[in-house]
Amino acid sequence: MNTNEKIIALTGVSGAMGGEVLKSLLESDNNFKIRCILFSAEKSLPKFTKKLLKKYRKRIFKFKGDIACKEDCEKLLDGADYLIHCAALIPPKSDHDPHGTYLSNFVGTKNLIDTVIEKGNNIPFVHIATVALYGNRTYPHVWGRVGDPMISSDYDCYSMYKMKAERYLLDSGLNKFVSLRQTAVLHKYMLANNLKDGLMFHTSWNCPLEWVTDVDSGILCKHLVERDLAGKLDGFWNNIYNIGGGAECRITGFETIDEGFAVMGMNTKKVFKPNWNIPRNFHGVWFYDSDKLNDFLDFRTENNKIFWQRMGKKYWYFKVAKIVPSSLISKLAIQRLFKNTNAPKYWIKHRIDGRVKAFYGSYENFEKIGTDWKKFDLLCESKDYQNLKNIENAKPLLLDHGYDENKPLVSLTFADLAKAAAFRGGKCLSKDYNEGEIYKKIRWQCRDGHEFESAPHTILKGGYWCPHCCEPKPWRYGALADIPFFGQVYFDTHTKDEVNDVYPLSDDEDKFIENK
């Protein structure tokens, strides 16, 4: 096969991941040609992307456009042999622009899927999804895997529309697709981005996070296309995988921030107070199954330590910070963000009840957490922490998916599907289900009587269920707490009094509605 002629369509090249994917693909020995769509004017792209577009201009066809516009998707995919779809509006931008997030994260993805199908359904579709689909995790449910329930954290438009998009993909009938749920990415823009927004305080100190670096995410996509062209990806396609850096990259929220500050010679406890960061309603998990993707694509070359060393050498502010006292950094760089509408301190001060309730549980909880590190229990300092992190001990902590997972999905019978549906509080209605047809939509009914169509793969491996009850708008995860499948993690961070809580959609409606 002549791989020199292969054309790869790519979205999101202005982003942290998309930029590295672009670089990796262009550096491949296969001399790929790239088609890319630019949402912003070229002059406003990051320097990194601009340089690549210039250096490799002979192999790049680029145009200004928007995936929310169908015609632009047709132009992008014209003659393409692969599509790698990295574009998404991510936090903090998604927190400030719900409508833009809808257009980019759902409408854009739908347009690309529809276009691939209309063009003959033979362009392999690499979809980048997100760890945010798993919602908030904390002790004891620090381990997650494909098949776990899809839960969008309250007010998180990013995950809400990514959920809608991935579900559409899984049920679309695409011939060749893969959905890669990207974990938290260590990337070159992260510090600069975080220091501009209250999002800095959305990392729970005790949340489990498995990182991967931007560079490794790029290598991953390069290997994917190279290996597929070489016929080395047997059994890979039409699945969902979690992207993660593996054992060395599994830490907590506190350790993450501390690693970054350590490069600057600082101590997190001197820069932050415990109650500045939210204790729940975030996202992040250690992936029990992320090695599976690495077995296929062998992309891990960096860990967190290597990443921070790379940053420390590259950016001036890491060096400058070393000579500035921690208290001054706290004041100048961190506390000035309290005024940002995305900052918990802002919600407390301005009595934004919905946000305070969603992220802290109550004003009292905020006070209770307090400002004294000596009185705050950090998971990473607990004596069982290393045992908890050991994947050998993880099995008893995994969530139940409500069916016999020793059976391959294609061998499940109607009775197996009915059992899985019952675990989700409902029924499987397609008694004529043909064993093995896991990508064909069948009928289901939820506890509340809604009937819907979804493929068995979407339900059992996707972790999706009733689109009426489980897709937020508004967010009301508490209503699912008594369903065994969804209730498994709810009470890790909520009380029984909260099950009727409802959080409305947007910033404009940002008031907590008590729906009792």
Region near Zn ion per CB under 5 A, out of 145-153, 328-336, 359-367, 449-457? 449-457
Residue 287 or 486 with smaller CB distance to Zn ion? 486
- Name the minimum Å distance from CB 466 to Zn ion: 3
Per CB under 5 A, the list member of 13, 170, 184, 446 interacting with Zn ion is 446
Give the span between the Cα atoms of 82 and 85, in whole angstroms: 10
Give the span between the Cα atoms of 25 and 218, in whole angstroms: 8
Region near Zn ion per CB under 5 A, out of 190-198, 331-339, 467-475, 494-502? 467-475
- Name the minimum Å distance from CB 68 to Zn ion: 28
Region near Zn ion per CB under 5 A, out of 6-14, 64-72, 276-284, 439-447? 439-447
Q: What are phi and psi of 117, to 5 degrees?
A: -65, -45
- Name the minimum Å distance from CB 491 to Zn ion: 21
- Name the minimum Å distance from CB 212 to Zn ion: 34
Please identify which residue in the block is written with the tokens 């969008």: 152
Per CB under 5 A, the list member of 107, 131, 184, 466 interacting with Zn ion is 466
What is the DSSP code (8-state) at residue 430?
-
Q: Which of residues 109-148 bind Zn ion (CB under 5 A)?
A: none
Q: What are phi and psi of 285, to 5 degrees?
A: -160, 155
**Total of residues contacting Zn ion (CB under 5 A):** 6
Applying CB under 5 A, does 319 fall inside the site for Zn ion? no
Q: Which helix (H) or strand (E) holds 471?
A: none
Query: Please, what is the Cα angle at 25 between 23 and 29, to 5 degrees?
Result: 115
Given a contact cutoff of 8 angstroms between Cβ atoms, the answer to whether 263 and 314 are in contact is no
Residue 461: partners with Cβ closer than 8 Å, 6 or more residues away:
146, 147, 239, 240, 409
b/e per residue 37-71 (b: at least 16 CB within 10 A): bbbeeeeebbebbeebbeebeeebebeebbbbebe
- Name the minimum Å distance from CB 441 to Zn ion: 16
Residue 310 or 441 with smaller CB distance to Zn ion? 441
User: Mask of contacts with Zn ion, 255-294, x by CB under 5 A?
Assistant: ----------------------------------------
Q: Which of residues 161-180 bind Zn ion (CB under 5 A)?
A: none
Give the span between the Cα atoms of 21 and 217, in whole angstroms: 7
Positive or negative, the CA dihedral 195, 328, 355, 399 is positive
- Name the minimum Å distance from CB 446 to Zn ion: 3
Residue 123 or 421 with smaller CB distance to Zn ion? 421
Applying CB under 5 A, does 482 fall inside the site for Zn ion? no
Q: Which residues bind Zn ion (CB under 5 A)?
A: 446, 448, 450, 466, 468-469
